[in-house]
A and B are shown apart, each in its own frame.
Chain A
Amino acid sequence: MTADPTAWEQSSVMRVVPPLQPRKLAKVPFVELADGRLQGVVSSGSDIGRVYVSSIATGTHAYNCSTNNNRPCGGLLGAPCKHLRSLVDEAVVQYGADRVARYLRVEGEGITSGSELVSRLAGQHEPAPAAVVFSRFLRHLAYLELPVTTAPLAELHWFPASGAVR
């Protein structure tokens, strides 16, 4: 709102987390930048009841993809599989290429697409905890199961909805 850094530091109400862009969720229902990884859940193309858990670590770019039952993904043949590529593509839509590249610490300027970002990843396949990511996804889904409440939540005055641009 104002360019004065002191005023920003001494404001109670402002947006700290940049707004997300809307995207189609069917293929990749869950993407997050958390726990030092770009991680998420990708729906299987063939089995409606199966999902893949995919992740790329910050810094090392070590990647992994497995089913939610911890079977390794068959597409991981020395390079990121199609699930990992979808994960990166959707992360770029959701967060913007800059924010994803910065979080993963990917070298190079002017990355604008998921494929450019994948081509600059320096890591290798390394096993990673799929169960942690999957349980974060289940927890994420559980938010939609809680009932609507009508008792006033006074603390939300610190969290105004924003982002109107059209």
Chain B
Amino acid sequence: MLAVQLAALAEDPPGVGEALELVTAFDDALAHGLGRLGEQGAQAVTALAGAVAATPLGDRTGEAAGKIAAGSVAGEHLTALAGARAALFGSAHDALLARLDEALGRARAPWAEPVSGAAPADNLLAGCRSWLHELAITGWRGVGHDLVAASDQTVEALLAEPAMRRLAVLLDGLAEELRASSPVATMARLPARRWADLWTRALLLSQPGWLGGPEQGTPVSGRLLILGADVHEHGTVVQVQVHGILEPAGGGEPRLVRTAASATKVDTIAGPAVWSLLQGHPVLMGALAGQRALDLTDMPLLGSGDLVWHDDRAVTGEPADPFATARVLLAGALAPATPPLDRHPARIAEPVLVEGYTTVKGDGEITLKLDGGTLAITTDRLPSCGPLTPQLVAASTACVGLLRWDGGRWLLQPLGVQATVKRQPVAAHNGDWAQGPTDPKVVKSLARSGDAVAVLRERAGRLLRR
């Protein structure tokens, strides 16, 4: 990235601030509960509906807001409000991403609606919806142990159904946070935006037909060059999402793609131990750890730019340095569209290369400076399963990372850095330990706490099948 590109991101697109003000007022109403709205809450709900009045959502949302403001809450009304909230974030997403594409000169493919299979049964979804309704009526401030525990059975049933995994891990993550925060009334302040985001997504995902059957994708072949690995995690799940550039076989435009592998886990398996859960995909993990290209044959590619990974359809190729890939191919790669229902600023994760910068530490964060332009670096998105540390990021001069947007500003999430440590050049990437840590200190501390996965599997073997 160049300083002029950073400058183009310094200002939000018009309207984003106003849209998010409406959301903030609604989120506050949700914190107190939609079951007994005060005057302020009623205004917030009405204003949210007003913002989408001119859209196809207008009639339903207007009616829902009227009913809820009058104290009568039904499930369909909550769905309509969740839809309105999601629509506001969708438009903010589109405006932010358009600004980003313009600044970077990035070309983006248009969205094509995929054909998906049959929708799963509704009885599971009904259980989710009723828990989410209960949460909204009660409000975050009224949440305690019993209301959190009421989600257990639903989550368990969802986890057993692979097509429902998105909803299952989302609800489980929300329940974990509410459990750790219960009784919520004792909290000094609430993560109001965050919990309302999670509630909104969960309520929309649990509408009949939303998740649909698994999308088949289009088989693609060619060479995949890895840019880096983004790691997602909460107590009971870990997902490694690999960003890369696909050079299609037989020529054609290089494309920005992602691929992911996720495993359910328990909270005591954290840090470098999470990689051991993903060793069922040795080709992908080997390429991450060894910085290799991958030759793909007929790997399904979804319209969202996600390759659905099949380890047996990939072969390890030549060595490929992520920085070299970024320098040569990133500027000309075609970016994928975001599926309409996934559009939210938190979902923006655009790979970029930044070089020749200096860093400034201050106010608990690291800021990157480049020819007068600045960009904040999110050091709280450095995973404990990889070698990147805030110190290394502060010493870095080049970074392959993801541009994110949250809390009203753009942020750089490092995936890999080049730095100078003790006058020696070093490079480190999130995926370096995909086949186990290579730092002797980390190997030792991992050995000290023992193999958590093996211990729990032994216990599970003895106690579960009886």
Contact = CB atoms under 8 A, between A and B. Distances in A.
Interface stretch (B56-64, B118-126, B274-282, B325-333): B274-282
Interface in A135-157: 136-157
A139 B404 CA distance: 35
A22 to B, nearest CB: 4
Given A19-B270, A25-B456, A12 B345 contact: yes
A141 B464 contact: yes
A144 B235 contact: no
Given A1-B364, A1-B378, A163-B384, A11 B449 contact: no
Interface residues of A, number: 65
B232 A159 contact: yes
A36 B147 CA distance: 12
A119 B339 CA distance: 56
B365 A161 contact: no
**Which of B165, B278, B304 has the largest number of chain A CB atoms within 10 A?**
B165
A157 B339 CA distance: 14
Interface in B218-276: 230-239, 241, 258-268, 270-271, 273-274
Interface size grouping (class) on chain B:
35 or more
A5 interface: yes
A162 interface: yes
A13 interface: yes
**Which of B173, B201, B390 has the largest number of chain A CB atoms within 10 A?**
B173
A121 to B, nearest CB: 20
Contacts of B344: 12
Given A20-B270, A34-B145, A160-B233, A25 B389 contact: no
A17 interface: yes
A10 interface: yes
B384 A11 contact: no
Given A19-B384, A163-B383, A156 B232 contact: yes
Given A33-B180, A154-B347, A141 B406 contact: no
A141 B233 contact: no
A71 interface: no
A70 to B, nearest CB: 15
B381 A12 contact: no
B435 interface: no
A163 B390 CA distance: 10
B427 interface: no
A150 B270 contact: no
Given A10-B408, A144-B460, A150-B260, A16 B194 contact: yes
Interface of A: 1-3, 5, 7-20, 22-26, 29, 33-36, 43, 48-49, 51, 68, 94, 136-166
23 contacts: A2-B365, A3-B363, A14-B380, A25-B450, A51-B463, A94-B268, A139-B152, A142-B156, A143-B236, A144-B453, A149-B262, A151-B162, A151-B166, A151-B214, A151-B306, A153-B166, A154-B166, A154-B304, A154-B342, A154-B347, A156-B241, A161-B232, A162-B381
Given A15-B380, A29-B456, A35-B145, 14 more contacts: A9-B193, A11-B194, A22-B445, A22-B452, A25-B456, A34-B179, A143-B264, A151-B260, A153-B260, A154-B342, A154-B347, A158-B346, A160-B233, A165-B389
